[in-house]
Each structure stands twice: as structure tokens, then as C-alpha cells.
């Protein structure tokens, strides 16, 4: 019998975890990773931080050095775009008309940036920030820039604002909603980030609907719908991402805000698995389907997919967690806060730079946002995962040692 | 090149040669040492690279800083010798370093 052929589409963080993990667990078939970017899998989080700031090189942010893949007989085909899946014949279709056969297919195709559709958005000096190539372009252009405007007050926008501010630029963040981080945090936490950015010299403007980019070839100004204008010689747009699900949907796989996978990372076709930002899965801790945009999910779900392919299935039930570094703020997030009915703050969120926000629903802990509070983050992870009942009033008391909440 | 020895909970030893300047976490990731994850890439955010430094090496490796110490307090089964391996930089001084892997990172 010919060796089984496993093709991984998307040279992403998930792929960098999946392929070597297959070998680690004894996978004997051939493994090839096809990516449309020209780089081996790299860490995306530093793109808006140390890589943008010039403190890290491409080699520094590669997830694994090339030798690891060579040693494990993992082939990479980079700069190639897969356009379709012929499930009946088990072939991938490429943009140059070629076909590639597979026995097992894993989609780690990630997500792409949401585009802003306004006049002038194609002017020089306006960028998105998702890929290494995006940031290379930003760095090549930004050398002489003085006035940066960031469109979007989410984590990417705020991290980018902090990085550019540290490089000495004047920075304005334009957020369409009434507060930054509105989709992911409580109003108290949004207010905290707005204050710290102001203290660092970044201006955050909310309820700001971008109407047009002005300038003669190169961007010079951003105009809002209400008529306000902001000078800009560099614009970075970070208004969210869209999962790359079209190819899966066209192939008839179940898609519902992400490629739907079960607890073993299998799609509705048993020979096709998926992992990472492109997927939607049922999370048993929260009792609902979630689509996560995170390194944690990419790594953990890819591991699950590898185990499934090696015939050693293990169900996926990890607690989601995230992080974001801005200035001297180390934010660590445990869990998902959506649906909370109570927020308890531990620490001085109004004046200090260290606090934890605990999100509860009906007395049960859902999530923790911990800024410069690694203990609260670590403890929160365990309390949520273990479903420990907590008394909200204790969480608030700084003189109460949180350790006492763990199972006795 | 300095050598680092990773010892699994079942006693299996994996010896790897690492460039000075790399971290014990990255060395594990680059050499497929199972049991060290390093999800965050080494920025001390995830605590998935927990190791126990061998008693003989504790003094040479040194103590964790405040952030690392706070995180270590709540890893699974913390000990006096616990460290996050992304914060241990390999050097000639640490040639021969032995670290023990925990049963689980979370």
C-alpha cells in the first residue's frame, strides 16, 4: 500500500504545531504544508510589537527553525494558492490549474483582514496589519512618517499605537464605537486603556466613522463622517478579521462563522480536519460554539488534530486564553467574558497600572482580564477550568490571598 | 555548543546541543522535546514551559523575577526549583544543565 499522504493547507501557527506533532506521535505518511505566504510559520503577535519596533528579525519570530521540519521530513511548498477542494477525487486545486492529491487534508487557513470600504483607501501610506509582509511594507514606508492614524481600537490597533508612539510618532486612534475594546472587555477596562494611552501621549477618538482618506497619491488626512479631520502620513487599519471559510463552504463542508469541527478537529468530511482561527467548535466549558482568534487555539486544536490523525484521539476542551502587551502593560486574559452579568475589579483601575477584572455570570467565574497581575491570571485559569464557586466580594479584597479559593 | 538535558517524568533523558543565547524553552521547541509548549513564544505570558531545575543547577540558573515568580505560584505542582524555561538563557556557564519536565503544563 502506498504511504498515506497528508496535506496541510496554510503555513500558519497551527501548521507549525500540527506537522511536527504528527511525527512525534508516529505518523508515517508523507506530510506537506502548502502556504500562500513566502515564509515558514512565524509568530504573529510580535508583528504589531517587537517586529514592528525593529527589535526582532524574521529569524527571531519563526516558530521553529527550518532544520526541525527537514529532520522530521515535513515538506513546505510556499507561495502557492489553493483555490478549491475536489472531495470526490480527493484533490486540491491550485490557482495555476495544477492538482495535488491527498488522503488526509487539514485546513489551517486562518483569517484575513476585514477591509475598510471608503473613498481614498487605496492611497499610498495606508496599510493593514496581519502578515509579516504587511509589516515589512509598513516599516519600509514609515521611516519619515510623523503623524500616524490607527483605524480601529481593538487589540491590534492599540498595540500598534503603542509601538508607533514608542518610535516617536504622533498617534491618533479612531474607534467607530463609543469605547475601545468594546467587543471584548468591560467598560471599566476600556476606560483604563483609554487613560493609559492618553498618559502615553496617544489620542483616542471614539464614535469616529471614517468617511474618506485625502491626499494627492499619498495619504495626508483622514476625514470623519462628522467633518472632523486628522493629519496623517501613515494609516494602519485594524478593524478585525474574517475567517477563510469560502473554500471549505464551496467544497460542501459545514460552515457556521468558521469551518465547523467536532471535538477531534474533524470537519463534516472525516478525511478533512481543520484547526485555528478558521474553525468554529463547541466549547464544553462555555456550552456553546465559539470561533477563537488566538495562538492558544491554533496550538491546542492543531495538537488535537494531529492526535486524531495518528489514531490516538483526545477531545478538545482547553480553556481559551489570550494576551496583549502595550507599553508596560502586560494583559493576560483567561476565558471568554461574553454574557457576563457582573464585573469585580481587584486593584486600582482608575489610577494605577495593575488590576484584575473578574467577569461573572450568575456567580460563576467566566473570565479574567489581568493587567500586570500574573497571579490573578494563572489563578483565574484554574478557577474557571475547575468550575470553582467564588464569592465575588472576596475577589475584590486585596488583603485576601486568592490562593485560598483553590480546591482545599 | 552548551548541552541541555531534558528529563521526562518517566526518567527518559533527551540531550540537546543549543546555541548560547537561546532559551531552554526554544531549545525544547526546536528539538521536539515533548512536554514544553511555549505557546506565547517566550514573552512570559503563558506559563506553558514550566520546568524543575535540577538541584545541582539551581544556584547557577538563578531566581525568577517577580512576574515569573507570580506565575509559577499557580502552575500545576510548583516546587522551589520551578522556573519558566523561556526565561533561562543558555550559556557556556550552563553547559550540562539538567531540567526535569512536569507531568502537565495545565
pLDDT tens for residues A128-146?
999 999 999 999 998 889 9
Domain membership of residue A149 (yes or no) is: yes
Domain membership of residue B59 (yes or no) is: yes
Last residue of a domain, one of A191, A221, A237: A237
Domain with A357, as residue range(s), is 328-405
pLDDT tens for residues B39-60?
898 889 999 999 999 999 999 9
Same domain, A266 and A222: no
Taking CA–CA distances from B65, the nearest residue in chain A reads: A374
Domain membership of residue B106 (yes or no) is: no
Same domain, A24 and A89: yes
DSSP letter string over A329-371?
Answer: EEEEEEE--TT-SEEEEEE-TTT-S-EEEEEEETTEEEEEEEE
Helix (H/G/I), strand (E/B), else coil: A68? helix
Same domain, A293 and A370: no
Q: Number of helices and strands (H, E) in chain A? A: 10, 26
Last residue of a domain, one of A222, A237, A252: A237
Domain membership of residue A120 (yes or no) is: no
Domain membership of residue B105 (yes or no) is: no
Same domain, A132 and A219: yes
Taking CA–CA distances from A22, the nearest residue in chain B reads: B32
Average pLDDT over residues A79-94: 97
Q: How many folded domains does chain B comprise?
A: 1
pLDDT tens for residues A221-234?
999 999 999 999 99
Domain membership of residue A249 (yes or no) is: yes
- ipTM comes to 0.90
Domain with B30, as residue range(s), is 3-100
pLDDT tens for residues A270-303?
999 999 999 999 999 999 999 999 999 999 999 9
pLDDT tens for residues A52-75?
999 999 999 999 999 999 999 999
DSSP letter string over A158-211?
Answer: HHHHHHHHHTT-EEEEE-SSSSTTTTTS-HHHHHHHHHHHHHTTEEEE-S--EE
Domain membership of residue A321 (yes or no) is: no
The mean pLDDT value of chain A amounts to: 96
Q: How many folded domains does chain A comprise?
A: 3
Please answer yes or no on whether B67 and A61 come within 8 Å at the CB atom.
Answer: no
Which grid cell is A401?
Answer: 490571598
Size of interface A-B (CB pairs under 8 A): 63
- CATH, residue A172: 3.50.50.60
Please answer yes or no on whether A63 and B74 come within 8 Å at the CB atom.
Answer: no
Q: Which residues of B touch A (CB under 8 A)?
A: 29-32, 34, 37, 39-41, 43-47, 67-68, 70-71, 73-75, 106
Domain membership of residue A320 (yes or no) is: no
- CATH, residue B7: 3.10.20.30
Same domain, A60 and A131: no
Same domain, A69 and A167: no
Please answer yes or no on whether B39 and A332 come within 8 Å at the CB atom.
Answer: no
Residue A303: which of A20, A6, A27 has the closest Cα?
A20
Report the C-alpha gap between A3 and B36 in whole angstroms.
30
Report the C-alpha gap between A303 and A280 in whole angstroms.
16
Taking CA–CA distances from B70, the nearest residue in chain A reads: A375
Same domain, A167 and A193: yes
Same domain, A199 and A297: no
Contact predicate A109/A247, CB 8 Å: yes
Tell me if chain B has a CB within 8 Å of the CB of A68.
yes
Residue spans of alpha helices (H) in A86-131? none
Amino acid at each position: 500500500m502506498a504511504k498515506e499522504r497528508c496535506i496541510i493547507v496554510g503555513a500558519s501557527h497551527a501548521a507549525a504545531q500540527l506537522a511536527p506533532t504528527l511525527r512525534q506521535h508516529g505518523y508515517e505518511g508523507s506530510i506537506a504544508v502548502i502556504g500562500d505566504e513566502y515564509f515558514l510559520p512565524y509568530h504573529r503577535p510580535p508583528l504589531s510589537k517587537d517586529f514592528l519596533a525593529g527589535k526582532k528579525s524574521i529569524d527571531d519570530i519563526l516558530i521553529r527553525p527550518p532544520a526541525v521540519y527537514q529532520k522530521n521530513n515535513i515538506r513546505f511548498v510556499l507561495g502557492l494558492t489553493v483555490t478549491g477542494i475536489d472531495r470526490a477525487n480527493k484533490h486540491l486545486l491550485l490557482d495555476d490549474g495544477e492538482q495535488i492529491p491527498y488522503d488526509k487534508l487539514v485546513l489551517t487557513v486562518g483569517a484575513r483582514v476585514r477591509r475598510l470600504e471608503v473613498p481614498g483607501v487605496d492611497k499610498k501610506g495606508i496599510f493593514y496589519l496581519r502578515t509579516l509582509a504587511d509589516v515589512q511594507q509598513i516599516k519600509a514606508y514609515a521611516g519619515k512618517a510623523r503623524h500616524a492614524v490607527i483605524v480601529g481600537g481593538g487589540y491590534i490597533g492599540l498595540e500598534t499605537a503603542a509601538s508607533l508612539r514608542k518610535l516617536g510618532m504622533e498617534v491618533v486612534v479612531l474607534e467607530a464605537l463609543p469605547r475601545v475594546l468594546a467587543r471584548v472587555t468591560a467598560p471599566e477596562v476600556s476606560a483604563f486603556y483609554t487613560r493609559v494611552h492618553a498618559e502615553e501621549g496617544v489620542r483616542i477618538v471614539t464614535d469616529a466613522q471614517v468617511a474618506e482618506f485625502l491626499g494627492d497619491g499619498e495619504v495626508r488626512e483622514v476625514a470623519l463622517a462628522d467633518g472632523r479631520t486628522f493629519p496623517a502620513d501613515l494609516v494602519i487599519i485594524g478593524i478585525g478579521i474574517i475567517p477563510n471559510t469560502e473554500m471549505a463552504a464551496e467544497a460542501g463542508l459545514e460552515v457556521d462563522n468558521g469551518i465547523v469541527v467536532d471535538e477531534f478537529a474533524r470537519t463534516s468530511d472525516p478525511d478533512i480536519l481543520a484547526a485555528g482561527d478558521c474553525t468554529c467548535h463547541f466549547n464544553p466549558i462555555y456550552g456553546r460554539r465559539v470561533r477563537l482568534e488566538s495562538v492558544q487555539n491554533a496550538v491546542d486544536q492543531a495538537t488535537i488534530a494531529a492526535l486524531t490523525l495518528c489514531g490516538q484521539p483526545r477531545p478538545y476542551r482547553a480553556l481559551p486564553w489570550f494576551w496583549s502587551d502595550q507599553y508596560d502593560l502586560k494583559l493576560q486574559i483567561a476565558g471568554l467574558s461574553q454574557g457576563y452579568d457582573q464585573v469585580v475589579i481587584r486593584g486600582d483601575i482608575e489610577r494605577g497600572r495593575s488590576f484584575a477584572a473578574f467577569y461573572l455570570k450568575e456567580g460563576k467565574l467566566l473570565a479574567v482580564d489581568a493587567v500586570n497581575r500574573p497571579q490573578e491570571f494563572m489563578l483565574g485559569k484554574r478557577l474557571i477550568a475547575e468550575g470553582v464557586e467564588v464569592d465575588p466580594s472576596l475577589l475584590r479584597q486585596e488583603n485576601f490571598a486568592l490562593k485560598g479559593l483553590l480546591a482545599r | 555548543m552548551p548541552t541541555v538535558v531534558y528529563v521526562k517524568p518517566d526518567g527518559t533523558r533527551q540531550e540537546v546541543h543549543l546555541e548560547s543565547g537561546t532559551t531552554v524553552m526554544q531549545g525544547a521547541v526546536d528539538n521536539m522535546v515533548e512536554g514544553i509548549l511555549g505557546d506565547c513564544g517566550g514573552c512570559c505570558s503563558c506559563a506553558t514551559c514550566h520546568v524543575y531545575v535540577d538541584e545541582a543547577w539551581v544556584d547557577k540558573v538563578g531566581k525568577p523575577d517577580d512576574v515569573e515568580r507570580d506565575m509559577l505560584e499557580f502552575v500545576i505542582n510548583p516546587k522551589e526549583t520551578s522556573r519558566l524555561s523561556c526565561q533561562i538563557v543558555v550559556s557556556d556557564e550552563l553547559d550540562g544543565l539538567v531540567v526535569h519536565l512536569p507531568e502537565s503544563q495545565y
